């Protein structure tokens, strides 16, 4: 799995994490707020090291790939920032 992330920096912020996982930036922040996610917090910045991200993903892949109760921002890409769906009324 580490070969997949070979082009990534050693420390990822939410924007880079979002790009790497093809999720929204708010989804990356939601992921970083999960209790078991290896977030490194420096002041207001949330970061994750590449080795910690790979280890976290490997644990979840071995567990069937499921993240326990992931936030809706991660599982529902059709949700906008404030929780409103993108449908017209």
Considering the chain, what is the average pLDDT of its residues?
80
pTM of the predicted model, to two decimals?
A: 0.69
* Cα radius of gyration rounded to whole Å, the chain: 14
DSSP single-letter state for residue 69: S
Provide long-range contacts, Cβ within 8 A and 24+ apart, for 80-88: 81/26
Residue burial 16-37, b: 16+ Cβ < 10 Å; e: rest = bbbebbebbbbbbbbbbebeeb
Residue 79: DSSP 8-state? B
Supply the pLDDT for residue 4: 79
Q: What is the pLDDT of residues 24-69, one digit of tens each?
A: 999 999 999 999 999 999 999 999 999 999 999 998 886 665 555 5
Residue 81's pLDDT band (cuts 50, 70, 90): very low
Is pLDDT of 71 > 60? no
């Amino acid at each position: 799995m580490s070969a997949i992330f070979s082009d990534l920096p050693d420390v990822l912020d939410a924007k880079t994490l979002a790009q790497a996982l093809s999720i929204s930036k708010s989804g990356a922040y939601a992921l970083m707020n999960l209790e078991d996610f290896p977030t490194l917090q420096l002041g207001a910045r949330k970061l994750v090291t590449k080795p910690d991200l790979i280890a976290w993903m490997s644990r979840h892949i071995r567990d069937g790939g499921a993240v326990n109760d992931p936030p809706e921002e991660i599982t529902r890409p059709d949700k906008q920032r404030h929780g409103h769906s993108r449908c017209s009324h």
